């Protein structure tokens, strides 16, 4: 398993990280099977595990905590805060009030005394970034958190956070976690170059584009979605959207290209993400041990320039095949009242 240094933190991690969104009610509810998956990943050399408080309403963190008993020091453990963890509007966001409570909840569920990387899951337009960085800096100084990061932050907000940290004496974000795949290349325009400029580590998620780049979804087969895809990310499969209809065509071209290279499509997709010089690691989210084994076999695959050029022809650099796939839309675009007089 290849390793790298996470940004400028000095922390060494495997280039393939285990994401645990699919462990628990959202994916695999069998805790013993989920723990076996985590142990298989550790035994294969994975040293970075990424979760979030909101994954299956905290169940994912609990599974990770149980699996790491006796093996906690073998991994760099990351989790996130932002999304609602209860009713009423007080248990969410990036405020000092909520982060102070959320970090304690995560530490309890993970059954650990520290979080190696604590990430802000999305920007929060209602909270000044100074407020967020202030409380995160306090947690770092207290030893509850070792490093901090952002997720799905646009480049301009990454720069604002860095400027605020320098001006106010806060700990800066050490990492950014954007979605990145052959189908989602928009981050190549500004997010990845900005990360490189400031030495921010990049941990990409969804390298298989929510399953599209496994070859599972093809025109020749009925579109069958599990509850998670149907209820939470249906916009990534809605065939009324031109970008989603285009995915079928590109999948066929990529399957052919992968065959020419002697690779499964999943290996081609993961190797593409890891080929970008700004990317430190890619987070995979298998639901079963069999899926994990397949993806771990791709960890050391490298694509030559000819293959990368062919991919560029199919999906041009800096392009999101389906713009609606974006999981974060700035409020001034999502809310009409903010862009009209």
At 230 the pLDDT is 59
pLDDT tens-place string over residues 193-223: 999 999 999 999 999 998 899 988 777 776 6
Angle CA 255–259–264, to nearest 5: 70
Q: Is the pLDDT of residue 231 over 70?
A: no
pLDDT-wise least confident of 144-158, 232-246, 306-320: 232-246
Report whether pLDDT(65) > 90: yes
Say which of 55, 118, 180, 217 is annotated catalytic. Answer: 55
Q: Which residues contact 280 (CB under 8 A, 6 or more apart)?
A: 4, 5, 6, 7, 13, 15, 175, 201, 202, 203
Q: In terms of residue numbers, what domain contains 145?
A: 3-338
Does 191 have pLDDT greater than 90? yes
- CA 216, distance to chain mean position in Å, is 21
Q: How sure is the predictor about 286, in pLDDT bands with cuts at 50, 70 and 90?
A: very high
* DSSP state at residue 170: P
- Our answer to whether residue 55 is catalytic in this structure is yes
Residue 324 is predicted with a pLDDT of 82
CATH number for the domain including 87?
3.20.20.100
Task: Give the tokens for residue 109.
Answer: 């569920």
**143-169 average pLDDT score:** 97
Least confident span in 30-34, 145-149, 187-191, 238-242: 238-242
The pTM of the full predicted model, rounded to 2 decimals, is: 0.93
Q: For the segment 128-139, what is each residue's pLDDT rounded down to a tens digit?
A: 999 999 999 999
* pLDDT in the model for residue 241: 79
Taking 80 as the threshold, does the pLDDT of residue 232 lie above it? no
- Cα–Cα distance, 338 to 341 (Å, whole number): 8
pLDDT confidence bin for 238, thresholds 50/70/90: confident
Q: How many CB atoms lie within 10 A of CB 302?
A: 9
For residues 239 and 212, give the distance between their C-alpha atoms in angstroms, rounded to a whole number: 13
Question: How much is the pLDDT for 338?
Answer: 83
For the chain, what is the mean pLDDT?
93
Domain count across the chain:
1
The pLDDT of 67-71, averaged and rounded, is 97
Residue 320 has pLDDT above 70, yes or no: yes
pLDDT above 70 covers what percent of the chain?
A: 96
Residues with Cβ within 8 Å of 322's Cβ and at least 6 positions away in sequence, in order, are 183, 236, 241, 242, 243, 244, 246, 247
């Amino acid at each position: 398993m290849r390793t790298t240094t996470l940004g400028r933190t000095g922390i060494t991690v495997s280039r393939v990280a285990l994401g645990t969104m699919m462990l628990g009610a959202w994916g695999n509810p069998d805790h013993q099977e989920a723990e076996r998956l985590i142990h298989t990943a550790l035994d294969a050399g994975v040293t970075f595990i990424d979760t979030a408080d909101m994954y299956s309403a905290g169940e994912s963190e609990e599974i990770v905590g149980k699996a790491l008993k006796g093996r906690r020091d073998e991994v760099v453990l990351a989790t996130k805060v932002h999304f609602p963890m209860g009713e009423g509007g007080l248990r969410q966001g990036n405020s000092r009030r909520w982060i102070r409570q959320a970090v304690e909840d995560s530490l309890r569920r993970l059954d650990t005394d520290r979080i190696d990387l604590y990430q802000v899951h999305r920007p929060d337009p209602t909270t000044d970034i100074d407020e967020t960085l202030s409380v995160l800096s306090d947690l770092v100084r207290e030893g509850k958190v070792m490093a901090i990061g952002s997720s799905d932050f646009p480049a301009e907000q990454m720069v604002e956070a860095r400027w605020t940290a320098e001006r106010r004496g806060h700990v800066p974000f050490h990492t950014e976690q954007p979605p990145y795949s052959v189908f989602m290349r928009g981050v190549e325009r500004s997010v990845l170059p900005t990360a490189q400029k400031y030495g921010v580590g990049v941990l990409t998620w969804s390298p298989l584009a929510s399953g599209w780049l496994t070859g599972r979804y093809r025109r020749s087969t009925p579109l069958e979605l599990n509850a998670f895809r149907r209820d939470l990310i249906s916009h990534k499969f809605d065939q009324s959207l031109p970008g989603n209809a285009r995915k079928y065509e590109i999948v066929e071209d990529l399957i052919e290209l992968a065959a020419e290279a002697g690779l499964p499509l999943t290996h081609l997709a993961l190797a593409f993400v890891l080929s970008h010089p700004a990317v430190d690691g890619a987070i995979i989210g298998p639901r079963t041990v069999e899926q994990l084994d397949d993806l771990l076999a791709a960890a050391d695959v490298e694509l030559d320039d000819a293959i990368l050029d062919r991919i560029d022809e199919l999906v041009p650099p800096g392009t999101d095949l389906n713009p609606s796939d974006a999981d974060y839309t700035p409020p001034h675009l999502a809310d009409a009242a903010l862009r009209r007089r």
